[in-house]
Every structure is written in C-alpha cells, then in structure tokens.
C-alpha cells in the first residue's frame, strides 16, 4: 500500500517515524501530542491517537502519564531496522514488476539505478 492510499492513522505513524529516522525527532524528545497532530493535519484526534498507539505498540514511543509521548531510547535504530526489513517488498518488488512489464533489460536497470543513486549522492 502506498503512502497516499494508506489509512490516515498509518500516515500519521509514518510521518513520525520519518522524523525519527531522519533525526529531526530525536530519542528522548516529546512527540507531537494527539491534539497537535489533529489540529496540524486537520484530522480527528482519535485518528492521531491510533497512529501514536501503533508506535507505542512497536516500542518506538512511550507514554509518560500526564506529560505525553516520548521517543524511546533505541527508537531510531528500531525504525531503521524495520524499514530495512521491509525495503525489498515495499520498493524493489514493485520496481522489478514494472521493469518486467516494460521488458526493461537488466543491464539498463542496473545502470539506471546507479545513475539515480549517484545523482542523490549515494556513491560519493
């Protein structure tokens, strides 16, 4: 399921894990509250709460009673590990499926991947 068609609560969870993964929401810092997320994204607070609950269930966020949800120690590595494990299924399988449909030669696909990676600074 791509991000645009994912349920809103999953999109909320994904936005927070994006911030954890890129370091803009560091371990130990308070995550946005249910009400902050609801107001900012113009969604129902229950939807925002469900997105936060997913991350709490995964051990990425922890609730501190009366204070809010905080990013757990080790959360960034946990998020990166989960994403690495899902990488092939999420990105490579659809890429290869489309390449097969287009009868895209394997060598050309490798060259294209290298070119795009270089343009993004991956091989510098």
For the stretch 39-55, pLDDT in tens is: 999 999 999 999 999 99
**Residue keyed to tokens 């107001």:** 39
- Check if the beta carbon of residue 72 is closer than 8 Å to that of residue 31: no
The SS3 assignment for 4 reads coil
pLDDT of residue 122: 83
Q: Is the pLDDT of residue 73 over 70?
A: yes
Q: pTM for this one?
A: 0.81
Contact 73, 36 (CB under 8 A): no
Q: Which pLDDT score, from 0 to 100, does residue 123 have?
A: 74
pLDDT at 5: 81
Q: Spell out the residues 6+ positions from residue 115 whose beta carbon is closer than 8 angstroms to its own.
A: none
């Amino acid at each position: 399921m791509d991000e645009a068609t994912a349920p809103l609560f999953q999109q909320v969870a994904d936005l927070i894990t994006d911030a954890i993964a890129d370091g803009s929401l560091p371990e130990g810092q308070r995550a946005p509250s249910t009400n902050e997320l609801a107001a900012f994204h113009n969604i129902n607070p229950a939807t925002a709460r469900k997105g936060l609950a997913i991350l709490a269930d995964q051990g990425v966020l922890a609730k501190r009673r009366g204070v809010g949800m905080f990013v757990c120690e080790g959360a960034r590595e946990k998020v990166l590990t989960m994403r690495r494990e899902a990488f092939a299924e999420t990105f490579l399988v659809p890429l290869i499926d489309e390449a097969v449909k287009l009868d895209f030669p394997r060598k050309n696909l490798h060259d294209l991947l290298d070119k795009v990676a270089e343009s993004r600074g991956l091989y510098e």
